[in-house]
C-alpha cells in the first residue's frame, strides 16, 4: 500500500475550533506547504487542541484512494 504525504501548517484559535464544533463542521480545508488544497475530518484535530487552540505543522498521509491514512504532529 502506497501512502502519499502532505504537510500543513495550522494556526486555529480556540474560538475558531469551538465554532467548528458548534456549527457541526465535518471537514477542515487547508493548503499544504506545496500549495495543494487538502481536506480532512475535523475530529483528527481533537488530540492536538490546547488552551490556545491548535498550532503547529502536521504530516497527513493519504492512501491511493485519497482517504486519510495518518495524521501526526511534526516535532
Q: Match 516535532 to its residue by C-alpha cell.
A: 75
Domains, the chain, in order of start with CATH, read 4-73 (2.40.50)
pLDDT for residue 2 is more than 80: no
pTM across the whole model: 0.88
Span 4-14, pLDDT tens digits: 999 999 999 99
pLDDT tens-place string over residues 15-32: 999 888 788 889 999 999
Amino acid at each position: 500500500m502506497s501512502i502519499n504525504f502532505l504537510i500543513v501548517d495550522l494556526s486555529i484559535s480556540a474560538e475558531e475550533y469551538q465554532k467548528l464544533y458548534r456549527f457541526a463542521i465535518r471537514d477542515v480545508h487547508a493548503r499544504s506547504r506545496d500549495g495543494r488544497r487538502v481536506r480532512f475530518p475535523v475530529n483528527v484535530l481533537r488530540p492536538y487542541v490546547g488552551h490556545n487552540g491548535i498550532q503547529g505543522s502536521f504530516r497527513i498521509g493519504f492512501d491511493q484512494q485519497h482517504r486519510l491514512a495518518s495524521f501526526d504532529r511534526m516535532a
